[in-house]
Amino acid sequence: MTSDSKSVSSNSSGRASSGRATPVTEPTGNIVPTARSGDFMSFLKDMLSFTGDLSSMTCPSFLLNGISLLEYGAHWSDYPHILAEITKATSSEERIKLVARWFVSTLYGSYNKRVAESNSGEKKPFNPILGEQFLASWNDAEYGETKFICEQVSHHPPVSAIYFENAKAGIYGSGHFSQKSKFKGTTMKVVQEGRVTLRMKNSDEFYCLSLPDLNICSILSGKPFLEMSSTTFIRSSKGYTAEFHWYTKPWLYGEYHKFDGKVFKDAAATFVQDSPTQKQLFNFKGKWVGESRVTAVATGEESVLFDVQAQPSANIIIKPVGEQSGLESRRVWLKVSEALSSGNYDVASKEKTIIEEAQRALRKSRAEAGEQWKPAMFYWVDDSSDEEAVKACYTYLYSAKESIGTGSWVYNNLPHLTEQSAAPSTYASGTQTPSDAFSTAPSSVL
């Protein structure tokens, strides 16, 4: 399966990629090699009878896409100019509309692009090893460089922490995500847990975001694809909220990938659906794989919120594997990916097992020595210990979206904390600074 995140670009600039997006609803290509159909049926039987979190199951190598799950996080920065343009807003009303636009722009790459580019079913990414890292950047002619960092901060349960920043525009975000999955009928239901906090230097207003749930459809036919479901929110520290409803296709009629939503101001301490305290400002409607539109409630004026086909994503820049540290994703999984690319699934399984057994041995040695592993670039902050304004934002959302959890994985050197001298010593457990991440990443633990 192909993906732009699998292509290393060392000199890309500007904001246009080589082609425009072509969304796909149901892929036609089957991901199961003919010679492996029997193995696939056996795997399906095991999966359908499994009662725990499906992410803990061992997936056959022919169903792997050759990419670490950490790389998926980079889609938060697919459109760095859209992220940077948030800082141009001159009012809270305009700013949250631009934050909503940016959030919608992250979805196509995250959940549809891989299927669209191959017209084949969605495959499973690698489960990152503990401490694994993925580093990337994008160049924009107007806004300069946007950097992205992702680290696997927990293996059981699997949790990935992310940080992205455009220093020239003065905007940055930090957060984390994890997934729990189970079968419901013939569909795999994936609950995404986590949150992202977005800040900018030219405003004291910040934004707290929740994540959508996913439905993986058509697994039994060997042509799986993703639909988004549930409700997600963006809550600003000044009381503005964007509420999104993601719809799956009805059984007999309707369309895929539709959503609607609204922006309102609400001074209440906790979210209540359609509360009279909400003053509605904008409405959203459209497809997250195509065009969506926004309408101002006061004037009725309508405009494009985001259009996937009209806005090519930027070229991602990733260091060649030979220049990466032993903990960076493409170096960790190099031999497995090469075997998958050549269709040698037995070798891929063997190389994957070598990595997994090395990790088990490492965990055992740490346990015997009484050592506690700590992430290099992130630290955990419980909501009870966080800034009051951050706590208030997530408290507002928690009643509607418990999957945001009760704390955040935070990047070591967030600009607003750096300006206040440093992150509190009671929080910090990381050992690496932002500049270190792009220059001297830790060496391999394998």
Reduced 3-state DSSP string for the chain: CCCHHHCCCCCCCCCCCCCCCCCCCCCCECCCCHHHHHHHHHHHHHHHHCCCCHHHCCCCHHHEEEEEHHHHHHHHHCCHHHHHHHHHCCCHHHHHHHHHHHHHHCHHHHHCHHHHHHCECCCEEECCCCCCEEEEEEEECCCEEEEEEEEEEEECCEEEEEEEEECCCCEEEEEEEEEEEEEECCEEEEEEEEEEEEEECCCCCCEEECCCEEEEECCCCCCCEEEEEEEEEEEECCCEEEEEEEECCCCCCCCCCEEEEEEEECCCCCCCCCCCCCEEEEEEEEECCCEEEEEECCCCCEEEEEECCCCCCCCCECCCHHHCCCCEHHHHCHHHHHHHHCCCHHHHHHHHHHHHHHHHHHHHHHHHHCCCCCCCCEEEEEHHHCCHHHHHHHHHHHCCCHHHCCEEEEECCCHHHHCCCCCCCCCCCCCCCHHHHCCCCCCCCC
Region at 300 (left for phi over 0; alpha for psi -120 to 50; beta for the rest):
left
Residue 203 is which amino acid?
Answer: S
Confidence (pLDDT) at 158: 94
Distance CA 338, CA 375 (A): 28
Indicate the Cα dihedral angle 57, 325, 320, 74, nearest 10°: 50
Confidence (pLDDT) at 438: 46
Distance CA 92, CA 96 (A): 6
Lookup result for tokens 């060997």: 222
- For residue 249, give the nearest of 220, 226, 271 by alpha carbon: 226
Q: At what angle do helices 345-369 and 334-341 cross, to 10 degrees?
A: 160
* Spatial CB neighbours of 102, under 8 Å, sequence gap ≥ 6: 79, 82, 83, 86
For residue 401, what are its two tokens? 């979206």
Cis peptide before 60 (omega within 30 of 0): no
Confidence (pLDDT) at 417: 85
Lookup result for tokens 């749930």: 213
Distance CA 132, CA 118 (A): 27
Confidence (pLDDT) at 29: 78
148 contacts 136 by C-beta, under 8 angstroms: yes
Confidence (pLDDT) at 434: 41
Which pTM does this prediction carry? 0.89
Confidence (pLDDT) at 22: 63
- Quick one: three-class SS letters along 276-345? CCCEEEEEEEEECCCEEEEEECCCCCEEEEEECCCCCCCCCECCCHHHCCCCEHHHHCHHHHHHHHCCCH
Residues of the chain with pLDDT under 50: 1-19, 422-446
Distance CA 129, CA 165 (A): 24
β-bridge pairing 291-296 and 213-217: unpaired
b/e code 403-428 from CB counts within 10 Å (16+ = b): bbbebbbbbbbbbebeeeeebeeebb
Confidence (pLDDT) at 430: 41
Lookup result for tokens 């799950």: 69
Confidence (pLDDT) at 57: 81
